[in-house]
Amino acid sequence: GTLKRKNETEEEKEIRLKQLTGAVTTILECLGEDPNREGLLKTPERYAKALLFFTEGYEKDINEVVNNAIFEEDHDGMVIVKDIEIFSLCEHHLVPFSGKIHIAYVPDKKVIGLSKVARITEMVSRRLQIQERITKQVCDILEEVLQPKGIAVVMESSHFCMVMRGVQKTQSCTITCHTTGIFKEDIKLKEEFLR
């Protein structure tokens, strides 16, 4: 399973890459392509490496990502980190989706290093995912590490499974939101964040 990737040795990583490269070769053959033609000679390994990069979130641990960047602080106003660019792979079709995530929280004596907010988002999105789960997982992780008065996470994305196949709607945008604590209770605070 995916949990194995966290503790793999270099030798195990090489075996995984080799297996994935072979699988990509098989996919090319099933598509009717010749993996030995000039343009495709190195494609299986390149694509295998790309897939491992796109899903490197499976190798990350939240403690490693946060790296003790939680600080005691009396700030009690809203903290907003907007326009964090993300990309992920749709778990249903294995095609990309990309967009932006916006995060707000009201601290309860603890704040997090701002770059860690982006790194948490990256860890969660670099997996086979759906947008709704990313939104909730980012919120849940921040809730766990900060225990704030409340969190709001909004994500807007374009899904290539809707753009390139199926309904083929190139301008569509999907928006998801997950809130906790004070953001559920205080509509004005939520509206201020969403502005």
Q: Is the pLDDT of residue 1 over 80?
A: no
Q: Are residues 76 and 125 in the same domain?
A: yes
Q: Is the pLDDT of residue 148 over 70?
A: yes
Q: Are residues 47 and 72 in the same domain?
A: no
Q: Are residues 129 and 50 in the same domain?
A: no
* CATH number, domain with residue 37: 1.10.286.10
The pLDDT tens digits for 115-133 are: 999 999 999 999 999 999 9
- Provide the 3-class DSSP secondary structure of residue 87: strand
> For residue 100, what is the enclosing H or E element?
strand 96-106
Q: Are residues 133 and 40 in the same domain?
A: no
Question: If we measure between CA atoms, which residue out of 106, 95, 13 comes closest to residue 59?
Answer: 13
Q: Please state the rounded mean pLDDT for residues 63-72.
A: 95
Which of 77-86, 104-113, 163-172 is least confident? 163-172
> pLDDT band at residue 192, thresholds of 50, 70 and 90?
confident
Q: Are residues 17 and 33 in the same domain?
A: yes
Calpha distance 164→77 (Å, rounded): 42
Q: Are residues 101 and 17 in the same domain?
A: no
Mean pLDDT of the chain: 93
* Tally of structural domains, the chain: 2
Structure-block tokens of residue 115: 């770059």
What is the predicted pLDDT for the residue at 194?
A: 83
Instruction: For the beta carbon of residue 64, count every other beta carbon within 10 angstroms.
Output: 11
Q: Give burial (CB, 10 Å; 0-12/13-18/19+) of 160.
A: middle
What is the predicted pLDDT for the residue at 153?
A: 98
Percent of the chain residues past pLDDT 70, beyond the cut: 98
Q: Please state the rounded mean pLDDT for residues 175-195.
A: 91
Q: Are residues 24 and 117 in the same domain?
A: no
Q: Are residues 30 and 114 in the same domain?
A: no
Q: What domain range includes position 6?
A: 2-54
> What is the set of active-site residues?
90-93, 131, 159, 161
Q: Is the pLDDT of residue 8 over 60?
A: yes
Q: Are residues 79 and 153 in the same domain?
A: yes
> pLDDT band at residue 6, thresholds of 50, 70 and 90?
confident
What is the predicted pLDDT for the residue at 191?
A: 86
Q: Are residues 40 and 73 in the same domain?
A: no
- How far is CA 34 from each of CA 17, 37, 46, 48, 49, rounded to the nearest angstrom? 20, 6, 16, 17, 20
Asked if residue 89 lies in contact with residue 128, where contact means CB atoms within 8 angstroms, the answer is yes
Q: Are residues 66 and 50 in the same domain?
A: no
What is the predicted pLDDT for the residue at 160?
A: 82
Q: Is the pLDDT of residue 36 over 80?
A: yes
156 HSE (CA, 13 A, CB side): 8
